[in-house]
Structure formats: structure tokens, C-alpha cells
Amino acid sequence: MAPKIVSKPTEANTRLGGGQFGDLWPATHHQLIEACNGPHEVAVKMLHPLKEDDMKAVLNAFDNSFSKYKGLKGVCHLQRVSVLSGRVCIVMRFYEGSFGDRMVHLKGGKLSPPDVLKYGTNLAQGVLELHSKGILVLNLIPFNFLLNIMTK
């Protein structure tokens, strides 16, 4: 049985963000997974509508690379990829912010040298892990690097 993903009623119209590939929405994921004992918050990236052939190609690409992410410590883990309302949806844990978000709130928009060292080390480790699995990392911008509890 496929996991059920339901938008929170209070946030049903609250888009978290968007970009050239689609929109990011909050949702609740109703399935037990290792890290959670019940329903938990997730972020759902809903890609822009695709032609049927393109959708199959995207889903096949995710199937081929999904297993490569298993066991990597320095990258965000995808919980599932599915199709909702005719759009490919990428479901992952909900993170509270990104490096870019943090920089926006700092004086001058710059990180302190100790933070640059801490975050830079984590970023380099994550990119190294991905490259070691043959995954090319593109679009390396501060807003694409998410902060977890350990990096805040």
C-alpha cells in the first residue's frame, strides 16, 4: 500500500517556495519510517506538468538513482517520488531553512569565518559522498543547501 500524503488544512494554500522546476509545498506523510514513529512533516516538490513520455523518463531516472542515496550522511534523503494530480512529486523531510535563508538574516549577508568553516566542511563532505556514488552535483547555490538540527 502506497503511503498517503495529505496537505495540512491550515497550510493547504501556503507555498514554501518555487523555482524553474516546480513549487515546494508543506504536507503530512502518513507512513512509518525509520526516523519517525507516525505522521510527520515533509516538503513536497511538485514539478511542473510534464508530457507522459517525459514523466516516465523522470520517474525512471529517479528509480535508477534513488538507491545511490541510501547510507549517505551528508545529503538529504528522499522519502519517495510519486505522481499526484498528474505532477511528479519529490517527498523529503521538512527542513527549517537553508544556508541562503540564514545569510539573508545576517548583517551584511555574510557568514562568520567559523560558520564558513563549519558549513563548508559539511558541504564538501556531502558533495564528496555524492561524487563517490557517481552523482553529479549541479546548481550549487546557498538556497539549495538545507540546514538540519546539527548544522544550525
- Which residue ranges make up each domain of the chain? 1-94, 97-152
The pLDDT of residue 11 = 45
pTM of the model: 0.71
The pLDDT of residue 32 = 56
CA distances to 17, 24, 72, 107, 147 from 75, in Å: 20, 18, 6, 28, 10
Q: Mark out the alpha helices in the chain (DSSP H runs).
A: 52-66, 99-104, 113-132
The pLDDT of residue 36 = 57
The pLDDT of residue 105 = 86
The pLDDT of residue 13 = 59
1-94 has which fold?
Phosphorylase Kinase; domain 1 (3.30.200)
Q: Residue 56's closest CA among 24, 25, 81, 22?
A: 81
The pLDDT of residue 90 = 87
The pLDDT of residue 142 = 81
One-letter amino acid of 87 = R
One-letter amino acid of 20 = Q
The pLDDT of residue 144 = 79
Q: Which residues of the chain fall short of a pLDDT of 70? A: 1-13, 31-38, 149-152
List all residues 6 or more positions away from 68 whose beta carbon is below 8 Å from its beta carbon: 133, 134, 135
The pLDDT of residue 8 = 41
Binding residue per annotation — 118? no
